[in-house]
Chains A and B, each alone.
Chain A
């Protein structure tokens, strides 16, 4: 499937938050944490606030790097979410929504006081926040 975005560049605050998460979970790959962050935000019922997100950090990755084997599945989930939110499914919107969800998810995970260890992170998958 056609990726909505070729290169992903994170904001500085997101990078800082990710560094914290890296420390907490001892997962040293940005992309894995970013996948979790995306999923975390996508599962949140409320749509993300459309705020401008600067790509002012030096953390940058390609879409295949980001998605890995599940890149298509992540895209499908993003499309479904956009559809559910009543947004048009075009490349522009998807790219914007992707950035919004990614950064919001990073914020959620980093800001979650319960996440102190890797097990706390994976526990998120067992009890996905539901409306």
Chain B
């Protein structure tokens, strides 16, 4: 970084616009780093220093003249030149060159930072990049400056020579310096990293602290596992049940078959059959009763029908004979009367004889007929009864009997069949056994079916539960993953912290070694008693310096003179600046106060030309006087010279080129 130009407008005692060219120049012998600015006390030197700080850091700038607890806007309004018009605004503009990285290309850019404010203290910041207002730079200015020239380091590069003795007067350096030293040594980076890491860890831990989700997730996962285990068990149970059911079915079928084979079915219908049998038997008995009635009637006569028929003929015969006998007298009388009649008729003889013969023949026949044996001796009523029996009673009764018998035969057949069936039926005990056997099988089968159904339902329920749980799980999976990430992060973070710790201590050690060497080197370079100090040790924690003489004995601080202490401080700063590896300009206010001429010479000879590529010196005429200026000039180290001329009557400062006009 090289400061190129500082412009002040209405800032403190600088009324109007003043521009300082701060650019070092090149000569044939090398660069001329020193910008020498002379000014008497109260001439505006410190204002220049403040202007640079203010331009770079604005509100954060560490400015001695700013009172504690004074608000920034109040401070700013105070800084406006008191002689300027009431509505005038103050401006500070600092232009510098710096290598910046744009679109992955390192380039040397010219940056101009401009702060403008009025008496109301309202500040406006504008940053120009290569002459163009750059919004991004403006908005991120603080961060940019911090990366180029950290605020902590600013005290090491922009400092007041009178105040740096504080560095060594106390046993431990002030905190601001300690911070700066840390920054220089690069310790700030691991510290910042550690800080950020801490913040991140806290964040993640807070996230983790919302562990309810995590617990819920775990619970869900557990539930899912439980469900799956249950389902598996249920599936096995289902399988077992299915097998059991199959066995039960086989048993039932066997029992049913056995039941049927041993007449269980018949036995089941036995009461019905019995009832049928009863009915049939009753019917048969009824028929038999009918038959008995018939048997009691004239049915037996059917057996002797032939006898009866013969008897009927005989009966008729005998009846006729009786009638003939009874009528024979009458017939004889009639015959006689007929013969008498014929004689009266006086028929011829032959005819009369013929009639007589006929009549005799008839009578003879009648006599013969009646002379036959009459053994039946049946009266007409009996014969009528007989005729009636033969023609009506017997045939009708036979017919009836036939009908009844046929019917009875059918009945008997049926009864026999029924009895046969009933006989085939097992005994009640057997039947009970069979039935209970079958019923048990049936019961077992039904039970198995029920269990199976239950198991099916259970499985279904479990499946649904699993689906639901899976959905839940899916919902929580993202969170889970996040949390796992967090877990991993936390583990890694703690490792990183350890690593950082180790890195930091090693870095500190190494840097401190460099620093110690540099301080020793520069201090001995600046000191005319070069044998006084052999070695300087920097404390690892407090960065306090301990000096050792050639014998290895520590040198108490109070034994050093004020001048030696200032030199030690300068050496310390120099060493820090060189160790920090930052090529930054150095601005020193009143650099040589309290030093004797020998030390001044050392400083002028060794330090100013070599400490940096740009060295801005703000000096009074007693510090860098005629002799010193001549020395520097002769070395060709001075690039530009300015003189701050303060006019006490109008209380304004003017900047003019050239240093104090010393009398030759």
A interface residues, Cβ below 8 angstroms from B: 1, 25-27, 29, 32, 35-36, 38-40, 42-43, 69-70, 72-74, 76-77, 79-81, 83-84, 89, 117-119, 121-126, 128
Q: Which residues of A contact B310 (CB under 8 A)?
A: 80, 84
Q: Give Cα A122 to B306, complex, Å.
A: 18
A79 to B383, CA, bound (A): 14
Beta-carbon contact of A80 and B294 below 8 Å: no
Which listed residue, A29, A38, A76, touches B308 by the CB 8 Å rule?
A76
B186 to chain A, nearest CB (A): 138
Q: Which residues of B contact A77 (CB under 8 A)?
A: 301, 304, 307-308, 311
- Interface-located stretch among B148-156, B370-378, B571-579: B370-378
**When chains A and B are docked, how far (Å) is the Cα of A45 from the Cα of B408?**
30
Interface pair A42/B294, CB less than 8 Å apart: no
In the complex formed, the residue of B with least CB distance to A128 is: B303
| Known A40-B303, A128-B303; contact A76-B311, beta-carbon cutoff 8 A | yes
Indicate the member of B311, B314, B377, B385 with the most A CB atoms within 10 Å.
Answer: B311
Binds A, one of B398-406, B623-631, B644-652: B398-406
The answer for the CA separation of A33 and B300 in the assembled complex, in Å, is: 9
The docked-state distance in angstroms from the alpha carbon of A126 to that of B401 is 8
Contact B389 A73 (CB under 8 A): yes
Report if A126-B398 is in contact (Cβ < 8 Å); known contacts: A73-B298, A77-B307: yes
Instruction: Tell me whether B314 and A122 are in contact (CB under 8 A).
Output: no
Q: How far is the CA of A27 from the CA of B385 in the complex (A)?
A: 26
Residues of A near B44 (CB, < 8 A) are none
8 A-B pairs with CB atoms under 8 Å apart are A38-B300, A43-B307, A73-B298, A73-B308, A80-B307, A84-B310, A121-B295, A122-B291
Within 8 A of A (CB), among B285-308: 288, 291-292, 294-296, 298-308
**A-B complex: 6 closest residue pairs judged by Cβ atoms:** A89-B375, A39-B300, A80-B311, A125-B302, A39-B303, A43-B303
**In the complex, what distance in Å separates the CA atom of A79 from the CA atom of B375?**
8
Beyond known contacts A70-B301, A80-B311, A119-B408: 20 more, CB 8 A cutoff: A1-B378, A27-B295, A32-B295, A35-B300, A39-B300, A72-B385, A73-B386, A73-B389, A74-B301, A76-B308, A77-B304, A79-B377, A80-B376, A89-B377, A119-B404, A119-B409, A122-B295, A122-B404, A125-B300, A128-B305
A76 to chain B, nearest CB (A): 4
Bin the interface of chain B by size.
35 or more
Nearest to B402 among chain A residues (CB) is A126
Residues of B within 8 A of A72 (CB): 378, 382, 385-386
- Minimum CB–CB distance from B376 to chain A (whole Å) comes to 6
* A125, B301: Cα distance in complex, Å: 8
A42-B303 in contact (CB<8A): yes
A79 and B303 form a contact (CB under 8 A)? no
**Highest count of chain B CB atoms <10 Å: which of A38, A76, A84:** A76
In the complex, the chain A residue whose C-beta lies closest to that of B312 is A76
Q: Is the CB of B301 within 8 A of A73?
A: yes
Which residues of A sit under 8 angstroms from B405, Cβ to Cβ? 119, 122-123, 126
A113 to B314, CA, bound (A): 36
Interface string of B348-389 (1 = CB under 8 A from A): 000000000000000000000000000111110010011001
A118 & B401 in contact (Cβ 8 Å cutoff): no
CB distance A26 to B292 under 8 Å? Answer: yes
B33 at the interface (CB under 8 A from A): no
Chain A residues whose C-beta falls within 8 Å of the C-beta of B376 in the assembled complex = 76, 79-80, 83, 89
B24 contacts chain A at the CB level, 8 A cutoff: no
Knowing A76-B382, A80-B314 are in contact, say whether A27-B307 is a contact too (CB < 8 A): no
CB distance from B116 to the nearest CB of A (A): 150
- B315 at interface (Cβ–Cβ under 8 A)? yes
Residue of A77, A83, A123, A126 ringed by the most chain B CB atoms within 10 A: A77
Contact of A119 among B291, B299, B307 (CB under 8 A): B291
Residues of B within 8 A of A126 (CB): 302, 398, 401-402, 405
Distance A111 CA – B229 CA, assembled complex (angstroms): 90
A93–B304 CA distance with the chains assembled, in angstroms: 19
> Which residues 303-345 of B sit at the A interface, judged by CB distance below 8 A?
303-308, 310-311, 314-315
Nearest CB on A from B561, distance (A): 167
- Residue numbers in B under 8 Å from A27 (CB-CB): 292, 295-296
In the bound assembly, the distance between CA atoms of A36 and B311 in angstroms comes to 19
A35 to B307, CA, bound (A): 15
List A contacts of B299 (CB < 8 A): 122, 125
User: B375 contacts which chain A residues (CB < 8 A)?
Assistant: 79, 83, 89
Question: Judging by beta carbons under 8 Å apart, are A128 and B302 in contact?
Answer: yes
The reply to whether B401 and A122 contact each other, CB–CB distance below 8 Å, is: yes
Whether the pair A25, B295 counts as a contact (CB closer than 8 A) is yes
Which residue from B295, B315, B382, B398 sits with its C-beta under 8 Å from A36? B295
Q: With a CB–CB cut-off of 8 A, which chain B residues contact A36? A: 295, 300, 303
Which of A38, A39, A117, A121 counts the most chain B CB atoms within 10 A? Answer: A39
B377 touches A1 (CB 8 A): yes
CA distance A35 to B401 in the complex (A): 17
The residue in chain B whose Cβ has the minimal distance to the Cβ of A130 is: B306
CB-defined contacts of A25 to chain B, threshold 8 Å: 292, 295
Q: Hey, which chain B residues are within 8 Å of A76, CB to CB?
A: 307-308, 311, 315, 376, 378, 382, 386
Residues on the A chain within 8 Å of B404, using CB? 119, 122
Query: Are B292 and A118 in contact, CB atoms less than 8 angstroms apart?
Result: yes
Interface residues of B in 127-179 (CB under 8 A from A): none
CA A23 to CA B102, docked complex, whole Å: 143
B300 and A80 form a contact (CB under 8 A):
no
Distance between Cα atoms of A119 and B292 in the complex (Å)? 9
Alpha-carbon distance between A30 and B301 when the two chains are bound, in angstroms: 17
- A125 near B398: Cβ-Cβ < 8 Å: yes
